[in-house]
Structure 1
Amino acid sequence: MSNTPLDPSTMSRRKQIVETYKMARKVDKPILWWMIGAFVVAGGLAMALFRFVLPHNDSVFSWILAGLATFLVGLLAVTIVFGRRAQKAAFTQLEGQVGAAARALSMLRRGWVLEEVVGFTKQQDMVHRVVGPPGIVLVGEGNPSRVKPLMVSEHKKHQRVVGEYPVHEVIVGNDAGQIPLKKLVNHVRKLGRQVKPAEITEIRQRLRALDAQRPKVPIPRGPVPNSMKGQRGNLRGR
């Protein structure tokens, strides 16, 4: 059997969901019971609420509406629980892998531009760059003693090019002052809006000269939650 990773762009939505479930199930064994429990609890509450709103209506049509409402609310609950637990499982699989921060940052979509490995060491310590509402966010991963000077170097290079626009630094890890991988995307979003859309375009134009001077470095592709393509709305928190 081939071990080539599946390309989500070639899969149907149903296939994506199935592959996402398989990926999550490897890490999160109780995920099925959580989904069933979410359906039963949310659906039961929906049925009780619907019957309370129409307590004296016992027509067949009323029961059909109640059943439909129960199913839809239960399905919504299943979708939410599935998305969140699949997201957690995906980050668990990525933890400790080379390029894990870049894979997590790829979940930032509209309004964000990711450039992987704008700085690196021979030991595979890396700095990635995201351009978005906060300005420029440099994200480092690897050995802290090597990443910190690398981040300082990249910060100076970027600040020299973009001038007055803000440049933020984030180091991924579980030590003091670092951001855990599973919290990285939310942390970057919470940096706030410090530049306007037109200014983002200006920043990107200024960075082109800097990027032209550096080689592109491919990084290993681990078990990226690509099959979660249909779940990215949940990852964006929208």
Structure 2
Amino acid sequence: MARKEQAETAASANPGRLKQIALTYKMTRRSDPKVGLILGAVGIVTFGVLLAIGFLIGHPYYLGLLGLLLGFLAMAIVFGRRAERAAFGQMEGQPGAAAAVLQNVGRGWTTTPAVAMNRSQDVVHRAVGKAGIVLVAEGNPNRVKTLLAAEKRKMSRIAVEAPVHDIIVGDGEGQVPLKKLRTTMVKLPRVLSGPQVTQTNDRLRAMGDLMSNMPLPKGPMPKGMRMPRGGRSR
């Protein structure tokens, strides 16, 4: 009976996964029209090379089967990378795009979107992990520096033991492109222990932040979103 329920659960999950893959493919194809041809070429070349080697050594069936499996694996890897690149391309330039990336950095990080913002929608997000506190700003480089400086001073007073890093998302000098934000975060040296991270998060949570009473949608913020008249950057 238990096996039957597990089989039914797996069967009901498969259509959802296939639908998700199809939607991801459609999204990728909009910005990468040649993705289908590239995936087909990768699969065929991988299979062909392994099959040719199989004929040379006298085991075409074994190497052909292996080539088929490796062909699908290679297609999956290439598709994942191109889909990620397409997603970043569509997100780039949208307010709140950095917050969407931060929320998917990985386990061990606690992200708080929009801890500081001004009327021009320049915004600073905060992530806390074993690397310390990371402030990620997006918007006009000249304006966000003021927001970053104020937020950095505040963090230094509240969490003395945690190092504070600051990143400006963009393509200019000294900035980090959106597609490299996750990699940059992961490469930061880990200097805090688990209890220290928890303590830092508790202190920051008790302090509150600019948007604590305002519901924020996940992912990029709507372009038409405006700060309430009473809102000020902190």
Query: Which residues of structure 2 form unaligned runs of 5+?
Result: 1-12, 222-234
TM-score, normalised with respect to structure 1: 0.80
In structure 2, the CA distance between the partners of 1:12 and 1:175, relative to structure 1 (3 Å rule), is same
What is aligned with 2:136?
139
* Alpha carbons 1:133, 1:197 under 8 Å: kept: yes
What is aligned with 1:38?
42
Find the aligned partners of 2:100 and 2:219 in 1 and give their Cα distance.
Answer: 8
Q: Deviation per CA, 1:118-169: give whole Å up to 9, x if none.
A: 1111111110111123111100001112100100111111111111211100
* Alpha carbons 1:99, 1:219 under 8 Å: kept: no
In structure 2, the CA distance between the partners of 1:40 and 1:195, relative to structure 1 (3 Å rule), is same
1:129 maps onto 2:132 in alignment? no
What is aligned with 2:51?
47
What is aligned with 2:227?
none
What is aligned with 2:29?
25
1:178 maps onto 2:175 in alignment? yes
Find the aligned partners of 1:22 and 1:77 in 2 and give their Cα distance.
Answer: 19
Find the aligned partners of 1:51 and 1:132 in 2 and give their Cα distance.
Answer: 53
Find the aligned partners of 1:205 and 1:49 in 2 and give their Cα distance.
Answer: 59
In structure 2, the CA distance between the partners of 1:116 and 1:212, relative to structure 1 (3 Å rule), is closer
In structure 2, the CA distance between the partners of 1:213 and 1:126, relative to structure 1 (3 Å rule), is closer
Q: 1:159 aligns with which of 156, 168, 171?
A: 156
Find the aligned partners of 1:44 and 1:155 in 2 and give their Cα distance.
Answer: 56
- SS of match in other structure, 2:104: coil
- SS of match in other structure, 1:179: coil
Query: Which residues of structure 1 form unaligned runs of 5+?
Result: 1-8, 224-238
What is aligned with 1:107?
104
The amino acid of 1:192's aligned partner reads: P
* Alpha carbons 2:115, 2:209 under 8 Å: kept: no
Find the aligned partners of 2:41 and 2:71 in 1 and give their Cα distance.
Answer: 9
Residue 18 of structure 1 and its aligned partner are, at CA, apart by: 0.5
Residue 214 of structure 1 and its aligned partner are, at CA, apart by: 5.4
> What is the Cα-based RMSD across aligned positions, in Å?
2.2
Q: 2:76 aligns with which of 76, 79, 84?
A: 79
Larger RCO, structure (CA 8 Å, separation 6 or more): 1
* Alpha carbons 1:135, 1:167 under 8 Å: kept: yes
In structure 2, the CA distance between the partners of 1:97 and 1:56, relative to structure 1 (3 Å rule), is closer
State the 4+ residue runs in structure 1 displaced beyond 6 angstroms: none
* Alpha carbons 1:117, 1:216 under 8 Å: kept: no
- SS of match in other structure, 1:130: strand
In structure 2, the CA distance between the partners of 1:154 and 1:49, relative to structure 1 (3 Å rule), is farther
- SS of match in other structure, 1:138: strand
The amino acid of 2:28's aligned partner reads: A
Residue 198 of structure 1 and its aligned partner are, at CA, apart by: 2.5
Find the aligned partners of 1:44 and 1:99 in 2 and give their Cα distance.
Answer: 45
Identity %: 42
* Alpha carbons 1:91, 1:182 under 8 Å: kept: yes
Residue 213 of structure 1 and its aligned partner are, at CA, apart by: 7.0
Residue 221 of structure 1 and its aligned partner are, at CA, apart by: 4.7
Q: 2:86 aligns with which of 77, 89, 110?
A: 89
Find the aligned partners of 1:20 and 1:186 in 2 and give their Cα distance.
Answer: 22
* Alpha carbons 2:123, 2:138 under 8 Å: kept: yes
Q: How many pairs were matched up?
A: 207
* Alpha carbons 2:43, 2:74 under 8 Å: kept: yes
